[in-house]
Every structure is written in C-alpha cells, then in structure tokens.
Amino acid sequence: MISFLDLKKINLKYQEEIENKLLEVFRSGWYLLGNELKNFEADLSDYIGSKYALGVANGLDALRLIFRAYIELGIMKPGDEVIVPANTYIASILALSDNGLLPVLVEPEINTYNIDISKIEEKITSKTKAILIVHLQGRIIFSEKLKRIAEKHQLKIVEDNAQAIGAEWNNIKSGNLGDAAGFSFYPGKNLGALGDAGAVTTSNKELFETIRALGNYGSNQKYVNIYKGLNSRLDEIQAAVLDIKLKYIHEENDARREIAKRFIKEISNPKIILPENPSNEKEHVWHVFVIRTENRDDLQTYLAEKGIHTIIHYPIPPHHQEAYKEMNMLSFPISEKIHREVLSLPISSVLRDEEIDTIIKALNEY
C-alpha cells in the first residue's frame, strides 16, 4: 500500500537529532516557556522575515488569537465582517465565529483553488474589517491588486498559513505578506510537530504583545491579568522538534515540488484535471497535490484497489456544515464543484520513485 503520508518515515529521517533533543529536554526538567521556545520563535521569525514569531498551542488558536487581539485593541468588534474563501478548511471560519466576527464567503478560482480576488470587492461593506487569505494546498494567494483593495478599504490582511510554510511571493515568504499570519504545525503539515503546535507571525509590536498576553491567561506580568485570556502555549518538546525540522523545511518543500513536476508532466488522462504549476514555482509548496475528476469516488476506489491511498480535502464545504446552519441556504457553485470533484494524491519527501511511477501509471490507465 502506498500511504497518503508516511509521518513515521518522514520523522525518522531526523531520528538521531530529534531523539537526542527529546532526551535533553526531558532531562532538563523545564517543559514550558523556556529556551527551546525562545530559539524556535527566533528561528521562525528569521526564516519568515517577520519581526516577531510566537508559539501557540495549535493553528486554530493562532488564528483565533490574532482576531481576538484585534478586538482587544479596538480595531475590530463582534458583528464585524471578515472576507474568507468559501472552500477553506473549517478552522479559518471557526477562528472568526469564535470571536463573534461574521465570515463572508467568497468563491475560489477553479484553476488555483484559491480565493478569487476579483470577487472580493463586491462583498465589502461598512462592517468589513479584514480579508483572511488562505494559501490553500500550499499555493500562495497574493497580488498587488489584493494589496490595493485592502488599502483602499482599510482592511487588515490576515494569512492562514497552515498549509504554505516556505512558499514565496516576490521573494517575500508567506506569513510575511499581510498584517499577521497563523501557522499550524499539526503532524501532517509540511512542518509537522509530534502533536499539536502552532505559531503567529507579525511585524506589529502592539499586536504581538497583545497576542502574547492573550495566550498566557491575558497576563503580561505574572499574576497581573489585563485581558480575559486563554492558555495557548507551545511546549518545549514541540518547540525543540520544530526547531530541528525547520532547518530542513526547504528540502522537504523542494522534494514535494519535484514530485508535483513529475505528476504534472507525466499524468495524462482526459478524465483527470491536474493542478496548475504557478509561473514562479516558489509560490507553491504542494502541501497537497489535488486532482479533479467527475466520478471522484469511483477514482478513489479504483486507486485503493491498486494500493494507492488518497484523501479528499475536503468532502463538505463549510457553508453546508451543520455547525453553520445560518449559511446552509447560501450557494457557491464553484466551491461546491471543487468539494464534489477533488482528490489528493500521496506527496511527500519520502515517496519513492517506484511509488511515483505506480501512481502515474494507475492514473494513466484509469
């Protein structure tokens, strides 16, 4: 069986370094808010190019905390609207509704799967305060036009960078394109921890300090609470592992790009629609390689019979979820088509050449 993502194999590439570090942290007796976190935050902000990076418990918290901080700073208030792509992962939307902000869904582009920038402006009202862009599948969504729309309407640009660490637009890394960015280091992400982990990057000092306090019981000084905060920390063990894996994220992403190139060049079947390579390949880190086909479930079953494990990202669009009954009557035909037709192929730095051959052959014979 070709697994969708062999996490064990990926992490064992760094076995010696990680195991030595785990033992060191275990024996140190210091498990939270120590040097491992400090080092990782410094290395992450260096890598991204932002002034600040701060570790939090997971990717959803990273996004929740950014919007919560904007509310505490008086820049947004409950009832305000935030533009977000209709086909995103549910966490982007949860981060808004959790803060009493209203998600305003915008259709994606069928060929990039990312938010259609030309459809943003018609959704802006006097209540709109931000655009939450999501670099879905690992592909950057950004443009001068997007920047101009945000400037014209005085909107914050927040990046959901859970899927695109390492991607670059005009030599600027994702996570440093807008006002703030949330990262997830869920084990299956391109930079994955050994459990839950996340981070926020920003170059705004006030925002950074507010999020730091909010994630620490709303306290910026021990036993002094200025906000009704939460507890959202990145622990020393996860920070230490992430700091090791961050050194190799470049190689991991390059390996994914090579596989994506082969898939795009060698898969040829009129029934299958392949993703596009951006004109600058640095804009994509291929968190997932998503194909489209009319009889998606049939293709998935066929591939499973050939020993190839695939996943659907994602089967139900957010506006059709029971949790968002208030959006159930909305219609987003492009998003709905995407959710009906997409299938993600295995892709990672540990996929062997023979496995890539098998996947290509199976798809060409379908």
Q: Which positions touch ligand PLP (CB under 6 A)?
A: 58-60, 88-89, 91-92, 134, 160, 162-163, 184, 186, 196, 198
Q: Identify which of residues 88 and 344 has a Cβ nearer to ligand PLP in the complex.
A: 88
Work out how close the CB of 92 gets to ligand PLP at its nearest, in angstroms, rounded to a whole number. Answer: 5
State the Cα angle at 263 between 257 and 266, rounded to 5°.
135
Work out how close the CB of 182 gets to ligand PLP at its nearest, in angstroms, rounded to a whole number. Answer: 7
φ, ψ dihedrals at 295, nearest 5°: -105, 65
Q: Identify which of residues 89 and 286 has a Cβ nearer to ligand PLP in the complex.
A: 89
Work out how close the CB of 186 gets to ligand PLP at its nearest, in angstroms, rounded to a whole number. Answer: 4
Burial 238-273 (b: 16+ CB within 10 A, else e): bbbbbbebbebbeebbebbbebbeebeeebeeeebb
Work out how close the CB of 96 gets to ligand PLP at its nearest, in angstroms, rounded to a whole number. Answer: 12
Work out how close the CB of 268 gets to ligand PLP at its nearest, in angstroms, rounded to a whole number. Answer: 30
Work out how close the CB of 232 gets to ligand PLP at its nearest, in angstroms, rounded to a whole number. Answer: 11
- Calculate the alpha carbon distances from 80 to 37, 76, 102 in Å: 34, 7, 6
CA neighbor of 58 nearest in space, from 158, 239, 185: 185
Q: Identify which of residues 89 and 208 has a Cβ nearer to ligand PLP in the complex.
A: 89
Work out how close the CB of 138 gets to ligand PLP at its nearest, in angstroms, rounded to a whole number. Answer: 10
Q: Is 312 left (phi over 0), alpha (psi -120 to 50) or beta?
A: beta
Helix, strand, coil shares, percent, the chain, to 5: 45, 15, 40
Q: Identify which of residues 198 and 346 has a Cβ nearer to ligand PLP in the complex.
A: 198
Work out how close the CB of 266 gets to ligand PLP at its nearest, in angstroms, rounded to a whole number. Answer: 28
CA neighbor of 284 nearest in space, from 113, 115, 138: 138
* Whether 208 contacts 56, CB under 8 Å: no
Tell me the residue number closest to ligand PLP, measured at CB. Answer: 59
Burial-class residue 281 by CB neighbours within 10 Å (0-12, 13-18, 19+): middle
* Whether 225 contacts 218, CB under 8 Å: yes
Q: Identify which of residues 92 and 128 has a Cβ nearer to ligand PLP in the complex.
A: 92
Helices (H), the chain: 7-12, 15-28, 35-48, 59-72, 90-97, 144-152, 205-214, 236-246, 249-266, 296-305, 333-341, 353-365
Q: Identify which of residues 192 and 218 has a Cβ nearer to ligand PLP in the complex.
A: 192
Q: Identify which of residues 339 and 360 has a Cβ nearer to ligand PLP in the complex.
A: 339
Q: Identify which of residues 2 and 197 has a Cβ nearer to ligand PLP in the complex.
A: 197
Work out how close the CB of 47 gets to ligand PLP at its nearest, in angstroms, rounded to a whole number. Answer: 18
CA neighbor of 103 nearest in space, from 142, 67, 135: 67
DSSP secondary structure of 221-246: ETTEESS---B----HHHHHHHHHHH
